[in-house]
Structure 1
Amino acid sequence: MTDQGMILQLYKILFTTTLLLNSTHISAEEVIPSPAAPEDVVITSTPVNEVSIVTVTNSSWEDKNLPYSVYAQPYKISLFDTANGEDGERLWSQTKSVAWYGVGVAGFLAVLPSDITNWETSDERLAEKWWDNVREGPVWDRDVWYINYIGHPYFGGVYYQSARKSGYRQWDAFIYSALMSTFYWEYGIEAFAEIPALQDLVVTPVLGWVYGEWAFNQEKDIIQGGGTVWGSEALGSTALFFLDPVDSIGHGINQLVGKQVVIAGTGYVGIQEVSLPNGSSETQVKINLRYAMGSGKGNSTKARSDMYNAAGADDPVDFGIVGFSAGYAYLNLDDEWGLENGWAPIFSLGLYFSPEFSSRLSYSRGEMKEKTSAEHIVYENYSVDMQYYFNADNDLRPYINIGLGEALKDQDRDIKTFQGNAGVGIYYKLDRNWALQFDWQHYYGTKFSANDDLASGQVIYRFGNGER
């Protein structure tokens, strides 16, 4: 299609939009022009409250006029069937891009000092080293805090947005992030350099969900505000890049070569009730398109389809199911450890799937006094646990807990034991975001036949809207 033809088509779309913005009773047949739209754009129309809505491919999940039956099984994974109109082609294109970009990230980490990354170097053949690391994992790693708890959630959020901006629900986007962080990174690229880390397997997708949804909405706000931050287009462009570098790099590649190599961008259809000067109101639709035309190569290139829906979704599962807790625990340790009993901080990160069920990664670390030398020795305990809550309709909920994990002495992987644990607790909901819990857990260590008890009190914070 020639540039002149594309401009004519764009005018037709703008004309259609103008009609929509000024009418609430025009049918789809009257509104949608019959000629084809520009490349990469498909125009459809759906009546909502007697207003015809124009939607664009690569639109976000909320743009689709979905039946509520979609949410009847909120934890059903629809990542692989695209039954609800998700853009699987875009996600596959983004996945291939991430795979190539990850090689560059791995190269950057490889040149960093080993005391930062804890990546080991050896003359062992790569395939053998990868297999040895995979067999030994997962372990609790010793990376610096900003890699484990800032870097990993950031990249988890990058994975998350690849699916979220391809039209998938939050739950599907989280599953995609978990698959990518586990099999592509931890048991893929990073396993060539170090043993897969347990906390990275959990923290990357879980906190990546929280960050990714926040970044997803921040990008919406920036785009809807004209692409500026504090009135600066330069700051706006920089922010958009760091919020979703994969998508931004995809746009850059497409513009560089003059055609769509990477399927990038998403869809925005803003629907809002607007007050009129006469005191009444009307529903208005906003569509935002930006194209780069005239590349000289005979192709129209989609520079950025910066379109998001301003309305919220009906999806009952969002990042509010993610919860973080912190508190203190009293450790009553078996004599096999040779350590005196004492207090230690305890933390957990989990998914609160429903008022009846949750799953958490818990970690406790304290400096305990050794009985023979009186020296202070680090004792660590971590486990992946599941909780079942009784009396779920009320704020006060007794629960049972069961899990598996390990305990370490003096940060020495040779002085550790595999543990199974079980216990009981009480959960008290303060409001949608905050709760208290008190519990007792008994741990049995297989290596030393150690029997340890841990009693703790913690404050829990649920992100976003919390419990719904």
Structure 2
Amino acid sequence: MNSLKNILYAIVILLSANTVFAQQTLQPVNFHNLNQTPPSENTLAYSDTPENVNPYNMLILADSTVVQQNAINYPPIKRDYTRLGYDTAMYFGAAVISFGILYAMPESVTNWDKEAMKENGITYKWKQNVKAGPVWDHDDWVLNWVTHPYAGGIYYMTARSSGFTWFESFLYSAFMSTCFWEYGIEAFAEIPSKQDLIITPVVGSAIGEGFFYCKKSILRHDKRVLKSRFLGYTSLVLMDPFNTLLDGLGYQQKVKVQSNVSPVGFNSGTNKAIWGLNLNVQF
């Protein structure tokens, strides 16, 4: 039991630390302090260089060019039902694994009556538990106030990272925690819990919204936390595991956005370039 608590404490501390780190890294970027490579041919919308442009102005022109190609589109610009469907399917696979882990734990931790499950069958136990619930459980506080809110945050992020609003993501978290877990997977072993039905989606959604802003910050900084890719990927996996897995497998939304800030003309009177924003959206 002590080892389980230590693992959960470590997860909470790591999430808290990464949250702080992600917010600290959200600072304006000074492009003049970066070692930039010269702009490529397709970077400049106006490639003909006037003869009266002096080298100094061209140096400023090259140093100030900011190009953002194939930028990470987060959150998605529209609801991605396909992504949400893949994520939900993975939940069912992960639920089987989670059920096996919980079943292997001591009854003092889960309060599961394994003998009744073996004697009468799992389906019989599920029906009895659903009819008897919900009740106020007496699980360890770590399960009720750490693991369940964290799970609610993961449910929330699953929808939030698929382009849904905060309210829609809350509804998804409530649906998954109620129908999928309390009255679904967990009901095979124990009676649904009153506090879990409330704590998981409510507290979990608040935590999930914090995860959402942290993920935006991490992605904006090239998936790094404190300039570390390891901390960046670790944070993304802990905050949004299924979407991070999908992205790692190469899933991309059909909408691709490419934008850049580049000179679109030249004012010979002021000897300065005219800047413009180019936006390319492919469906």
TMscore range, shorter length: 0.5 to 0.7
1:126 corresponds to which of 113, 117, 122: 122
| Runs of 5+ consecutive residues of structure 1 not aligned to the other structure | 1-13, 21-52, 64-84, 255-259, 274-280, 288-468
* Alignment pair present for 1:194 and 2:209: no
Which residue in the other structure is 2:94 paired with?
A: 101
CA deviation string 1:320-351 (max 9, x = no partner): xxxxxxxxxxxxxxxxxxxxxxxxxxxxxxxx
Q: Give the drift of 1:58.
A: 7.2
Q: Give the Å deviation of 1:120.
A: 2.2
Structure richer in strand, relative to its length: 1
Q: Which residue of 2 aligns with 1:220?
A: 216
Q: In the aligned structure 2, how far is the partner of 1:203 from the partner of 1:132? A: 24
Shift of 1:247: 1.8
Unpaired runs of 5+ residues, structure 2, are: 1-39, 46-67, 262-273
- Could you tell me which of 146, 154, 161 is aligned with 1:158? 154
Q: CA, structure 1 residues 60+134, in 2 after alignment: closer, same or farther (shift >3 Å)? A: same
Q: Give the 3 Å change call, closer, same or farther, for CA 239–283 of structure 1 in structure 2.
A: farther
Structure-2 separation of matches of 1:176 and 1:54: 33
SS in 2 for 1:246: helix
Q: Find the aligned partners of 2:174 and 2:228 in 1 and give their Cα distance.
A: 35
Matched, 1:90 2:105: no
In the other structure, the counterpart of 1:60 is: 75
Question: CA RMSD for the aligned pairs?
Answer: 3.9
Letter in 2 for 1:229: V
Q: How many angstroms apart in 2 are the aligned matches of 1:145 and 1:264?
A: 39
Name the aligned partner's letter for residue 182 of structure 1. Answer: T
> Pairwise mapping of residues 322-361 of structure 1 onto structure 2 (< 5 A)?
none
- Count how many residue pairs are aligned between Structure 1 and Structure 2: 210
Q: TM-score, normalised by structure 1?
A: 0.39
Question: Does 109-118 or 166-175 show the bigger shift?
Answer: 109-118
Structure 2 residue aligned with 1:142: 138
In the superposition, the TM-score normalised over structure 2's length comes to 0.63
The alpha-carbon distance between structure 1 residues 168 and 162, as it changes in their structure 2 partners (threshold 3 A), is same
Which of the pair has the greater relative contact order for Cα pairs under 8 Å at 6+ separation? 2
Does 1:110 find its partner at 2:110? no
Q: Please list, as runs of the form range in 1=range in 2, the aligned pairs for 1:34-433 lying within 5 A after superposition.
A: 60=75, 63=77, 85-121=78-114, 122=116, 123-252=119-248, 254=249, 263=251
Identity of aligned residues (%): 38
Q: Deviations over 1:394-419 (max 9, x none)?
A: xxxxxxxxxxxxxxxxxxxxxxxxxx
Give distance in 1, aligned partners of 2:128 and 2:252: 38
Task: Name the SS of the counterpart of 2:92 in structure 1.
Answer: helix
Distance 2:79 2:71 in 1: 12
Change (3 A) 1:57 1:115: same
Specify whether residues 197 and 224 from structure 1 end up closer, same or farther in structure 2 by C-alpha distance, changes over 3 A only.
same
- Listed one character per residue, the Cα deviations across residues 127-169 of structure 1 (whole Å, up to 9, x for unaligned) are 1100000000001111111211111111111111111111111
Letter in 2 for 1:60: P
Tell me, yes or no, if the aligned pair for 1:160 and 1:174 is still in contact at 8 Å: yes
Assess if the C-alpha contact under 8 Å between 1:156 and 1:209 holds in 2: yes
Name the residue aligned to 2:53: none
SS for the counterpart of 1:141 is: coil
Report matched runs for 1:434-449 at 5 Å. Answer: none
